[in-house]
């Protein structure tokens, strides 16, 4: 019996020792004050556009500015990211903070209760540093579910050296555009490059044509279900794109080129035109070809008798960070989202890039990107914006829209069928 008692006492001592050691470890962890916050974005280490560079700089400064938080960042490129975050949402395996596009892309996540409203975290003075309307596309039922860092706008980037070489003017009208296409084709120059394998780059063209034919207000109403897509104006937007494809306006094999491959043809001076968001201006400035001094960032060409003019643009504040409702570290996650978005906005200004959605007073630019300066001048008199349709539309509708545009590129869908198919989404 004595031996049994001895064994029990010894076991108790060991148990208490282990418990004490575990508790001590927990106390050390708490004393360390470090909280890990997981962040997912589409800015991979190999992505070098201005937004990605500004984000990576923000991650570095966060190590000092947010000393009690460890940020674990993971990324996938654009289309792969969309699949990744949707899959994670379905499986309830969402990171603490995640990149999202506002409007139709994030709305299903909000409706499912998987995104945390941030309003209470903005009342500490943060809201006063954000420009009015910057987060409109992340607002639902009066609550803010995401924070943006920049306003984007698409431009028709033109290689002026090629235009000058063949005596062409930078396109201001659709006729100018078609004339340039004809001359470039006759001289073995790629008129327009586009990475339609990813679908959204080519979608930009139809969206922009719709702004010119139907106007920004009607485009937004149709996207909101308040007006019909099956009208002559939207049919015309598809017809203009189809005619441009038929005229040989785009690079051969466009459907097989991805975003990076499409952009590279312009950066290397092989293509005369490229229609893309302002983030591409950073790629132009850093291109080894030195093309930056030859680039004109033009407004999208106008259309005869169109309802939209040159003061209306494809773009808006749509890129941002959200916080998961399931996060176990909500305070830290909100702090990270606020810090990263404000800092990325400031970093863009410091680099002479981007159109910030945060107050960046006091930020000194280390240089000026002449292409960005042109874009800012272009939008000085802006009267309307329309988001890229795949971000305005939700779920399968967004994918269907991109597929319909791809069919226009492939000449397998008529303009009339395109408009009718789009309207089916609203019914």
* Domain match, 250 and 389 both: yes
Residue 366 maps to a domain: no
Residue 6 maps to a domain: no
Residue 15 maps to a domain: no
* Domain match, 277 and 418 both: yes
**CATH number, domain containing residue 76:** 3.40.190.10
* Domain match, 123 and 244 both: no
pLDDT in tens, 371-411: 999 999 999 999 999 999 999 998 899 999 999 999 999 99
* Domain match, 411 and 333 both: no
* Domain match, 115 and 165 both: no
Residue 367 maps to a domain: no
* Domain match, 210 and 274 both: yes
Residue 9 maps to a domain: no
> How many independent structural domains does the chain possess?
2
* Domain match, 321 and 413 both: no
Residue 208 maps to a domain: yes
The range of the structural domain enclosing residue 78 comes to 35-151+317-361
* Domain match, 288 and 399 both: yes
Whether 262 contacts 201, CB under 8 Å: yes
Residue 332 maps to a domain: yes
This prediction's pTM: 0.83
* Domain match, 233 and 141 both: no
* Domain match, 70 and 216 both: no
Residue 24 maps to a domain: no
List the chain pLDDT tens, one digit each, 427 residues.
434 334 333 433 333 333 333 333 333 333 477 999 999 999 999 888 889 999 999 999 999 999 999 999 999 999 899 999 999 999 999 999 999 999 999 999 999 999 999 999 999 999 999 999 999 999 999 999 999 999 999 999 999 999 999 999 999 999 999 999 999 999 999 999 999 999 999 999 999 999 999 999 999 999 999 999 999 999 999 999 999 999 999 999 999 999 999 999 999 999 999 999 999 998 999 899 999 999 999 999 999 999 999 999 999 999 999 999 999 999 999 999 999 999 999 999 998 888 899 999 989 877 778 999 999 999 999 999 999 999 999 889 999 999 999 999 999 999 999 999 999 988 8
* Domain match, 256 and 128 both: no
* Domain match, 236 and 328 both: no
């Amino acid at each position: 019996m004595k031996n049994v008692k001895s064994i029990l006492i010894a076991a108790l001592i060991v148990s208490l020792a282990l418990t004490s050691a575990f508790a001590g470890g927990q106390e050390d962890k708490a004393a360390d004050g470090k909280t890990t916050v997981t962040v997912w974005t589409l800015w991979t280490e190999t992505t070098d556009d201005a937004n990605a560079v500004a984000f990576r700089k923000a991650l570095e400064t966060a190590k000092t500015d947010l000393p009690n938080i460890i940020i674990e960042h993971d990324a996938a490129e654009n289309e792969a990211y969309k699949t990744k975050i949707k899959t994670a949402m379905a499986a309830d395996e969402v990171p603490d903070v995640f990149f999202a596009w506002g409007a139709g892309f994030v709305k299903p996540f909000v409706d499912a209760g998987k995104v945390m409203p941030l309003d209470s975290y903005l009342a500490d003075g943060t809201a006063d540093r954000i420009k009015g309307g910057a987060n409109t596309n992340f607002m639902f039922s009066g609550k803010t579910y995401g924070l943006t860092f920049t306003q984007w706008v698409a431009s028709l980037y033109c290689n002026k050296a090629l235009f000058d070489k063949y005596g062409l003017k930078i396109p201001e009208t659709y006729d100018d555009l078609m004339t340039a296409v004809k001359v470039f084709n006759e001289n073995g120059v790629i008129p327009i490059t586009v990475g339609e394998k990813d679908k959204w780059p080519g979608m930009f063209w139809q969206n922009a044509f719709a702004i010119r034919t139907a106007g920004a207000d009607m485009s937004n109403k149709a996207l909101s279900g308040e007006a019909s897509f099956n009208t002559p104006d939207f049919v015309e937007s598809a017809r203009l794109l189809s005619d441009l494809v038929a005229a040989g306006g785009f690079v051969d094999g466009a459907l097989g080129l991805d975003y990076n491959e499409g952009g590279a043809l312009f950066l290397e001076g092989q293509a005369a035109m490229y229609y893309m968001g302002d983030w591409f201006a950073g790629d132009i400035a850093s291109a080894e070809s030195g093309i930056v001094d030859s680039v004109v960032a033009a407004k999208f060409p106008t259309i005869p008798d169109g309802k939209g003019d040159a003061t209306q643009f494809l773009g808006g504040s749509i890129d941002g960070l959200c916080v998961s409702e399931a996060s176990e570290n909500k305070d830290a996650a909100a702090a990270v989202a606020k810090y990263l978005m404000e800092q990325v906005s400031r970093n863009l200004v410091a680099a002479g890039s981007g159109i910030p959605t945060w107050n960046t007073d006091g930020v000194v630019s280390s240089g000026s990107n002449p292409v960005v300066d042109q874009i800012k001048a272009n939008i000085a008199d802006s009267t309307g914006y329309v988001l890229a349709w795949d971000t305005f539309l939700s779920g399968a509708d967004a994918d269907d829209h991109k597929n319909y545009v791809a069919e226009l590129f492939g000449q397998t869908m008529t303009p009339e069928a395109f408009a009718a198919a789009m309207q089916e989404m609203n019914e």
